[in-house]
Structure 1
Amino acid sequence: MQLSATPYEERLTAPRSWWLISLLAGVSLALILLPFGTLPMLGGLACGTAAAAVMASAYGSVRIRVVGGHLIAGEAKIPVSALGEPEILDEEEARAWRTHKADARCFMLLRAYIPGALRVDITDPEDPTPYVFLSTRTPQRLAEALQAARNAA
């Protein structure tokens, strides 16, 4: 397996506020179970917090990687040879491509809590997907990694 010239990996972790919300979900469940006694209330606090934290962690565990001549974004694995020029999107442009400019056939790895994004056309004529939309905290680095991987291929 050939490694790309500029390796790139990013985990789209959930924001810190989501962990506080996980605690509040546990407190809510504890308050619901309060009439049943102290032990069920404490169990509700622990289980509710743990369940909400697992969901936040799972949602934020998705990764974007450029490795071995491929863009790996979540479940998608796309060879860089099938990608066009990357387009770095600012916050407003990213919002537009998530909403009224979006094509229903595109592949989106969307995390609304990440304002920046990268849009890359898919140039493979056999692929019905017109482009990929990737939420990323470092769109410039991702674009450079894709360019380097294309040049190395």
Structure 2
Amino acid sequence: MSDTRAAAQTVRYQERLLVPWWWWPPGFLLAALIAATFARGVTALPAWLPYAVFFPVAAIVLLWLGRVEIKVVGTSSGETELWAGPAHLPVGVISRSAEVPRSAKSSALGRQLDPAAYVVHRPWVGPMVLVVLDDPDDPTPYWLISCRRPDRLLAALRV
């Protein structure tokens, strides 16, 4: 059974919050150190086996850390939705939105953070977007979303 909704969607903005490229060499270096420790400590194993196990594990962990996707999707019925990870909401319930610069991120995630807020935070992504909701049926007051290009995300929400 095919999903006909996927074919009728128009992606206005899409971004995957991947880890920076410079995390990969230290990740593989750590995998090599752990594999070398296993190879020297467990002599019953072939020397190549720990490397064959830990290098793919390092790659999987780094890919898993960057699995979150942010997107704004318009449907054929005219509705627009904001997706942040597994959660989504119609753009019609957004009362206002703004960019949270890197310099204000610690304040937004610190004492000022409402415990009921929905947060998609990745520390390796600098800016964030604040999306304030106006939905009486939803107890979530706002969303805070990490985003590398907040101006493009905000423009896609306003279209």
TM-score (norm 2): 0.84
Structure 1 residues not aligned, in runs of 5+: 149-153
Uncovered stretches (5+) of structure 2, i.e. residues with no partner: 75-79
Give, as a single letter, the amino acid of the residue that structure 1 aligns with 2:26: I
Please report how far the alpha carbon of residue 42 of structure 1 lies from its aligned counterpart in structure 2 after TM superposition.
Answer: 2.0
1:147 aligns with 2:158: yes
Query: Quick one: which amino acid aligns to residue 101 of structure 2?
Result: D
Q: Which residue of 2 aligns with 1:15?
A: 20
Cross-structure match for 2:34: 29
Farther off after superposition, 118-127 or 17-26: 17-26
Whether the 8 Å CA contact 1:30–1:40 is kept in 2: the answer is no
Q: Corresponding residue for 1:85?
A: 96
CA distance in structure 1 between the aligned counterparts of 2:83 and 2:121, rounded to whole angstroms: 14
Name which structure has the greater RCO, CA cutoff 8 Å, separation 6+. 1
One-letter identity of the residue aligned with 1:11: R
In the alignment, the residues of structure 1 paired with residue 149 and residue 64 of structure 2 have an alpha-carbon distance, to the nearest angstrom, of 21
Higher mean displacement: 120-129 or 6-15: 6-15
SS of alignment partner, residue 48 of structure 2: helix
Identity %: 29
Which residue pairs with 2:77 in the alignment?
Answer: none
Over 6 Å off, 4+ runs: none
- 1:49 aligns to 2:55 (yes or no): yes
Greater fraction of residues in helix = 1
In structure 1, distance between residues paired with 2:95 and 2:154: 11
- The residue that corresponds to 1:117 in the other structure is 128
